[in-house]
Structure 1
Amino acid sequence: MIRRRPQLLWLLLPYVLFVAALPFVNRVPLLVLWLLGATLVTPVAVGLARRGDLRAERAARAERTERAARTERGDRG
């Protein structure tokens, strides 16, 4: 699925940021800022994944339209 939709890798970013904070829970005084940053990055990552999905959908639609036009003209290839 990732090969077909690599833009979904953006959705791993918030997860990695939250999981990376776990070892530092009782050690880092700025943990709250780290978690706030990870929370603010989440909608950005989702937006980037959505933007990639929309681009891929547009490209697929253009390809289907081109393919339909070619078959209508009788072209092969």
Structure 2
Amino acid sequence: MIVRRHLLWLLVPFVLYVAALPFANRVEPVVLGLPFLWVWLLAATALTPVCVWLTWRGDRKRRAGR
């Protein structure tokens, strides 16, 4: 089985949304006037396209190296 390490980038959004959610589920502290959970989810939403792009870039490099 070939391990494609670039696919591990797709685990980052999962960890941000699901695994770390119990730790971020709090109202205090307030960041920029928003509850901490909202800031956490906004950051996770902003990072998801970056992780998908890094996965795509790694896959493209792997295919070019064949």
Q: Write the deviation string for residues 12-63 of structure 1: whole angstroms up to 9, x where unpaired.
A: 00110112023432x2431101000000100000000000000000001xxx
Name the one with the larger helix percent: 1
Q: Percent identity?
A: 52
- Which runs of no fewer than 5 residues in structure 2 stay unpaired? 28-34
Comparing both chains, which one has the higher relative contact order based on Cα–Cα distances under 8 Å and sequence gaps of 6 or more? Answer: 2
The RMSD of aligned alpha carbons is 1.6
* TM, length-normalised to structure 2: 0.77
Richer in strand (by share): 2
After TM superposition, the score normalised by the length of structure 1 is 0.67
Q: Whose radius of gyration is greater, 1 or 2?
A: 1
Partner of 2:22: 22
